[in-house]
Amino acid sequence: MEKLGGFVNFQFAVWVIAALFIVSFIIQLYYYLGIYSKFTWLNDSLMPRSNDMPPVSIVICARNESANLQKHLPRLLSLNYPDYEVVVVNDCSYDDSKEILESFEKQYPNLKVTTLNEDVVYQHDKKFAVTIGIKAAKHEFMVLSDADCYPKSENWLREIVRSYTPETNLVLGFGAYEKESFFVNRLIRFDTFFIGMQYFTAALRGAPYMGVGRNLSYKKTLFFKNKGFASHSHIRSGDDDLFVNQVANANNTGICFAKDGHTVSIPKDNFGDWFDQKRRHLTTSPHYKPSDKRYIGFQVFSSFFFYVTLFLLMGLQFFPWIILFLFIVRLIVQMIIFKGAMEKLDEKDLWLWSPLLDMVLTFIYPLLTISNSFNEEPRWK
């Protein structure tokens, strides 16, 4: 009887695993076909575009970024745009940033430098530096980026500004990473692509929830009308995504995914450094609106349970051909959606790698969550 009872319990457990697999499979299909397809199959020509080119302020905060400033500032200061300024906040740097910026100020009349000095009593974060940069900006339209980024094209500003309509107060851009052939680089770029596809799709559905500080634009009046970062000033990070999560809505948010509108950054070159960077980025997501956490969470958890239950059921040889068939269905749908989205975001070289990269990332995210629960939130470098 004990053996029979154990067999019955085992069979019940297997059917529970199978039920979890089916539910995860359905949720995954819903995300890819019902949600992400909106971005994949979006007709670019139908996107609202403006021909206006108002004056723009580019705001960049830099702390000990002398090498990046030397390399990237000339590109930012020589864009194909009629009227713009670049505001650089030199945030307590102790390298030779000051000398480099002073040299550039003599060459470029559209460069404006604001310097912050270290205070032994008051230790500020990046949000304070960004606020100072926005206050120093003289134009209503602002584009925020980072010192380690450069525009993919000299028409970068034109593409961002074209995404503004009379109702738009905020535009989400895409921040890509330089392409290399090693696996960690592909993993970083795939993660960046997937996040971009998620937040662009959310904006298209009328529920924008985040943007990236490497390529983000909004109006100065929007920032001060919402009291800047006041609602989340106690959180060290989130100068980009938490602000967007606070102020963006279906009516005031535009998107710019045109290839000339991308910025490019140099990614980490090893897994450990990227893991630490990623862990810092994820410290803000618990502070998103509940609906946004559900949007992200259901995708992450359904993907995790899909793979875990897939491996378990295949190992147990539980209707293996049916399980394999459902896996292939999900894979085909996923690859179709990725293909169109990757073409839009200029990451086509990742397409054949995407099944493996998706699986690896699915198991990295729980590790990031566990790591964050045991570690203090990193500070602004």
Q: What is the pLDDT of residues 146-156, one digit of tens each?
A: 999 999 999 99
Asked if pLDDT for residue 118 goes beyond 60, the answer is: yes
pLDDT (0 to 100) of residue 122: 56
pLDDT the model gives residue 100: 93
Kindly report the pTM of this predicted structure.
0.92
pLDDT mean across residues, the chain: 90
* Structural domain count, the chain: 1
- Cβ atoms 285, 171 nearer than 8 A: no
11 compared with 172, residue with greater pLDDT = 172
Domain assignment present for residue 314? The answer is no
pLDDT at 375: 64
Task: Give the domain CATH number at 234.
Answer: 3.90.550.10
Residue 168 covered by a domain: yes
pLDDT, average across residues 366-379: 70
H-assigned helices in 137-270? 156-162, 183-204, 220-225, 241-247
Residue 167 in domain:
yes
In this prediction, residue 116 has a pLDDT band, given cuts at 50, 70 and 90, of confident
The predicted structure's pLDDT at residue 257: 94
Token pair belonging to 15: 């059917």
d(CA 157, CA 261): 7
Residue 136: domain span: 44-192+208-273
Distance CA 338, CA 138 (A): 40
In a domain, 362, yes or no: no
pLDDT of residue 206: 94
Asked if residues 132 and 116 have their Cβ atoms less than 8 Å apart, the reply is yes
Flag whether 283 is in a domain: no
Nearest of 149, 159, 135, 161 to residue 53 by alpha carbon: 161
50 vs 162 pLDDT, higher one: 162
Those residues whose C-beta lies under 8 Å from the C-beta of residue 88, and which sit 6 or more positions away, are 60, 61, 62, 69, 73, 101, 111, 112, 113, 114, 133, 147
pLDDT of 331 strictly over 90: yes
Say whether pLDDT at 7 is over 60: no
Binned at pLDDT 50, 70 and 90, residue 6 comes out as: low
Backbone dihedral region of 265: left (phi > 0), alpha (psi from -120 to 50 degrees) or beta?
beta
Kind of pairing, strands 263-265 and 175-177? parallel
The Cα–Cα gap between 261 and 263 comes to: 7
In the block, tokens 């200029």 appear at: 346
Locate tokens 């896996």: which residue?
327
Evaluate whether residue 313 is within a structural domain: no
What is the pLDDT at residue 1?
A: 47
With respect to residue 149, please indicate whether it lies within any of the assigned structural domains. Answer: yes
Residue 380's pLDDT is 45
Please say whether the beta carbons of 172 and 208 come within 8 A: yes
Q: Is residue 361 part of a domain?
A: no
CA neighbours closer than 13 Å in the CB half-sphere of residue 287: 21
Average pLDDT over residues 267-282: 86
Amino acid at position 313, single letter? L
Interatomic CA distance for residues 183 and 175, integer angstroms: 19
Helix (H) or strand (E) holding 261: none
Pick left, alpha or beta for residue 4 (phi over 0 → left; psi -120 to 50 → alpha; otherwise beta): alpha
